[in-house]
Amino acid sequence: MARIALELDGEDARLLRGALLAARATELAELHRRGFRHSYGKASDSARESMSAEVRHHRRRIEILDRLIEALAVAE
- Express each pLDDT in 36-71 by its tens digit: 766 666 666 777 777 788 888 999 999 999 999 999
Distance CA 17, CA 21 (A): 6
> What global pTM score does this model have?
0.80
Please, what is the angle between helix 10-40 and helix 45-75, to 10°?
A: 160
